[in-house]
Amino acid sequence: MRRIVAYITFLVLLASFVGCKKDRIERDEEIPKVEDVETDESFIKDSTLYYMKLLSLWQEYLIPRNVNDISTPSTLRSLTKKYETAEDVLDFLVSLTPNDPNTNKPIDRYSFLDRAGVVSSEIQDAVSTSFGMSVFYLQTQEAYNNGNNAYLYVRMVDINSPAYVAGIRRGDRILSINGNSRIDYNVQKAEGFKSINAALSSSSITVRWRTPTSIDTEKIIVSSQYRLNPILSNKVLEVEGRKIGYLAFSSFVNIINKGAYTQMYTDFEKVFRDFESTGVNSLIVDLRYNGGGAVNTAEYLADRIVPISADKKRMYTCKVNKVLSDDFKWTAQDSAFGPVNFQKKGNLNLGTVYFLVTKSTASASELLINVLKPYMNVQVIGSEKTYGKPVGFFGIPIERGKEKVEIYATSFQMFNADAFGDYFGGLALNKTTREDFLKDFGDPQEGFIAEAILHITKGYYSTATKSAIATADRIRNENSRNIMNVNKRVSDLGMFKFNEETLRLKE
């Protein structure tokens, strides 16, 4: 191990956490240099192998078998030279991790490279550059009758985004893009979704859409930078004498950046002060499209939601690989990956909290749900189990020439106070029901929300099940997956944890 330590010291800075991200790390020294670096990409390939082997939660499965060998430049180069890009190296390394019985694929489906700095911008700086809308194929009764087809709809729109400013909202149907009305599922599938993907990946599009009330509009939308405000809706619903707080948000944007509270913190503080001042006695947290973000934010929300009786009790612990745990003491008390306890904030003292989820609910969202379970009645409502990401990572910058890359190696797993953290297959539901895609966030008649309200007011769920859903307005998951990736933010990939303290690899 001394051979590794001789080459590297990690300095932890504030950084982003994609799904479950810990800290951004910068080096005092570069990785061991090789004399025959032909290109910048060669260096990035070597660095990818170096950091994956050193930091991976599944370190013992990766090459080289002896972790000390990564300090030998010739060893790194001999293992990476046959791969064209760093992404190819990463793909090979994750293929070596253990098989996940939930997917029958390598368990590390999370590690990635960020060549555009998107993660830091979106999670840490709350800035995004895109159209700001997420689209999918929905099979309504009309589409079903029209050759078992599906039409393009808007699933979610970021507030402040170009699409939002143009007037596009959740539940709107996209009629044409750039004058092309042949964007239905059957046509697009026949051509491999090439034209629709190209259009949605471009810098400017002309969109014609129809609202649920049958109002048609056409506008030019330009992909541009906007401040990311992930709070989609927050309100207090009064139903049968109950005051129900409702909060929907799409990303765990960090509440702290460069040592100061962010706008995200201010916005959340206002929401919870309003809940407290109006006497909220029930809470619904809508995470149906929330793919994660900063662990700091998850911790803050857990402190806001947990009952007063949990104050100072264990929130979660982390597991890292043997080298980081035994040699570098990263999981010791008061270290960056040491145990975290609740620090109750505010005066909400709820016995039950309701979470609304889908397969898109991941990482920091799952962490929030999981850490509350030992201390209160957590009810999970949705269309299917959550994504399944009890692990996280931190960003390490790799710079060579004009190339600037950040590597996110899956490095730690998080466990709640009951030592539960093995939910790679997703968190289970208390109630399976259908989502109403044509009703907006916060609408008490929307499927998920209606089930939560029923349980709050009556103490039981409806008898309807997912299998009992009529043909009308059903979602074709196979169809949606073919296109949803176009709109997926890079920061929806995981969970990021940010600390201001310094981590050092020590003997």
Tokens of 381: 């409502």
Q: At what angle do helices 73-80 and 40-55 cross, to 10 degrees?
A: 100
Q: Is residue 29 part of a domain?
A: yes
Q: What CATH number is given to the structural domain containing 251?
A: 3.90.226.10
pLDDT at 464: 67
259 in the same domain as 373: yes
Q: What CATH number is given to the structural domain containing 172?
A: 2.30.42.10
Q: What is the mean pLDDT of the chain?
A: 85
Dist. CA 463–CA 474, nearest whole Å:
18
pLDDT at 4: 44
345 in the same domain as 449: yes
State the amino acid at position 274 in one-letter form: D
274 in the same domain as 214: no
State the amino acid at position 397 in one-letter form: P
137 in the same domain as 17: no
Q: Is residue 191 part of a domain?
A: yes
99 in the same domain as 13: yes
**Based on the structure, what is the number of domains in the chain?**
3
Instruction: Judge whether 226 and 158 are in contact, CB under 8 Å.
Output: yes
Dist. CA 304–CA 368, nearest whole Å:
11
Q: Is residue 192 part of a domain?
A: yes
Dist. CA 44–CA 447, nearest whole Å:
47
- For residue 217, the Cα-to-chain-centroid distance in whole angstroms is 32
Give the best-scoring range by mean pLDDT among 22-36, 209-223, 469-483: 209-223
Q: Is residue 298 part of a domain?
A: yes
167 in the same domain as 109: no
Q: What confidence category does residue 259 fall into, taking pLDDT thresholds of 50, 70 and 90? A: confident
Q: Pick from 207, 225, 243: which residue ends a domain?
A: 225
290 in the same domain as 240: yes
Q: Is residue 146 part of a domain?
A: yes
Q: Is residue 488 part of a domain?
A: no
Q: Pick from 122, 147, 169: which residue ends a domain?
A: 122
Q: Is residue 288 part of a domain?
A: yes
Q: How many Cβ atoms from other residues are within 10 Å of residue 108's Cβ?
A: 23
Q: Is residue 505 part of a domain?
A: no
Q: If you average pLDDT over residues 377-385, what whole number do you get?
A: 97
- For residue 131, the Cα-to-chain-centroid distance in whole angstroms is 19
What b/e readout covers 274-286, taking b as 16+ CB neighbours within 10 angstroms?
ebeeeebbbbbbb
Cis previous bond, 64, omega within 30: yes
- Is the pLDDT at 273 greater than 60? The verdict is yes
189 in the same domain as 115: no
Which domain does 117 fall in, by range? 2-122
Q: What confidence category does residue 30 fall into, taking pLDDT thresholds of 50, 70 and 90? A: low
What's 341's DSSP letter?
E
436 in the same domain as 301: yes
- pLDDT tens string 79-131: 999 999 999 999 999 999 999 999 999 999 999 998 877 666 666 666 788 89
Worst-scoring range by mean pLDDT, 182-196, 254-268, 319-333, 469-483?
Answer: 469-483
233 in the same domain as 350: yes
258 in the same domain as 113: no
- Is the pLDDT at 133 greater than 90? The verdict is yes
pLDDT at 141: 85
134 in the same domain as 71: no
- Is the pLDDT at 496 greater than 90? The verdict is no
Instruction: Judge whether 361 and 290 are in contact, CB under 8 Å.
Output: yes
Q: Pick from 176, 207, 225: which residue ends a domain?
A: 225
- Is the pLDDT at 425 greater than 70? The verdict is yes
Q: What confidence category does residue 401 fall into, taking pLDDT thresholds of 50, 70 and 90? A: confident
Q: What confidence category does residue 24 fall into, taking pLDDT thresholds of 50, 70 and 90? A: very low
